[in-house]
Amino acid sequence: MTFDILTLFPAMFASPMSESILGKAVDRGLISVHAHNLRDWAAGRHQVTDDAPYGGGDGMVMKVEPVVGALRDLRAAAPGAQTVLLTPQGRTFTQREAAHLAKQSGLIFVCGRYEGYDERIRAFVDVEYSIGDFILTGGELAAMVMIDAIARLIPGVLGCEGSAAGDSFSDGLLEYPQYTRPAEFEGLKVPEVLLSGNHGAIARWRRQAQLERTARRRPDLLADAPLSDEDRRYLAELAAGKDGG
């Protein structure tokens, strides 16, 4: 997959996209990441990309011409790419959205700055995303977060293909607790079932641990999670135990 990023600060992407799992994925040709300087599409000697808002107000607004000019050129080079506008007004980016975007042939991210975008830019993008209900100084960090979440779902990027399948939110629930050696540390022990070698019992324990942790920490997720009858019975028992306690 190809990730193209339209930004005023392309150097911000050099280190994050060349380290760890993403860097290895780039080296192996599984993904490619290109940060493009928006000023290359701005007119005039000073390559201005912002201007004062019509009607007055604080701050500056990103101009429509350089953004649209850049998008047209990038789409011509990657006709199947989907264009993503990063904005606090967009839909919330989730694991489900990451899985959907991981199936695309390419993505073009538009990173905002200043007070916001000229509204007409929205007519030239495919989808708008926000990574949460808070404000950043620009869309670059949001783009990095999304690229990381999407890239790790592309086949071959993770060393273990089953790793992504067991992540929190991959099946609508939080992940079950994980342990490794030693079996005991300062009186804190690994659950006996995980040392038993009984794969059926381990799978059952992990599922119940997922349900319990999600019910305790993120009960809102249960409404949309694909739950079996057994899952629902276990949740009912948890609720009954809580009410009884």
* 138: CB partners within 8 A, 6+ apart: 7, 8, 9, 111, 112, 113
Are 61 and 120 in contact by the 8 Å Cβ rule? The answer is no
CA dihedral defined by 200, 202, 203, 209, rounded to 10 degrees? Answer: 150
Per the annotation, does 202 bind a ligand? Answer: no
Helix 199-217 / helix 229-244 crossing angle, nearest 10 deg: 60
Question: Was 74 annotated as part of a binding site?
Answer: no
Q: Does 150 appear as a known binding residue? A: no
Q: Please tell me whether 135 is known to bind a ligand.
A: yes
Spatial separation of the C-alpha atoms in residues 231 and 236, rounded to whole Å: 9
Residues pairing with 83 in the sheet: 108
Q: CA 189 to CA 181: how far, in whole Å? A: 10
Cis preceding linkage at 191, omega within 30:
no
Q: Is 115 one of the catalytic residues? A: yes
CA atoms within 13 A on the CB side of 155: 3
88 is annotated as an active-site residue? yes
First to last CA, the chain: 52
133 is in an annotated binding site: yes
Ligand-binding site membership of 134 (annotated): yes
Is 186 known to be catalytic? no
Residue 152 annotated in active site: yes
CA of residue 23 relative to chain centroid, distance: 17
Contact 5, 13 (CB under 8 A): yes
112 is in an annotated binding site: yes
Active site amino acids? 88, 115, 152, 167
- Annotated binding site, which residues? 112, 131-136
- Annotated binding site for S-adenosyl-L-methionine, which residues? 112, 131-136
